[in-house]
Amino acid sequence: MPEMSVADEAELFLKMIADPGCEPGLYECLACFVARRVEDVGCDDTRLWTQWFRDLKSPTATALETRLFDLGVTCDCRLVTRGYRMHRALLVRDLMTDELSAPDEMPDCAGVRRTSTKPCANWERRPLDDWQPPRHG
| Residues in touch with Zn ion (CB under 5 A) | 29, 32, 43, 75, 77, 109, 120, 122
CA distance 82 to 37: 16
CB of 1 to Zn ion, least distance (A): 12
Nearer of residues 22 and 43 to Zn ion, judged by Cβ: 43
- Say if CB 36 and CB 21 are below 8 A apart: yes
CA distance 24 to 27: 8
Give me Rg for the CA atoms of the chain: 16
Nearer of residues 25 and 128 to Zn ion, judged by Cβ: 25
Nearer of residues 30 and 67 to Zn ion, judged by Cβ: 30
CB of 110 to Zn ion, least distance (A): 5
CB of 99 to Zn ion, least distance (A): 22
CA distance 129 to 82: 10
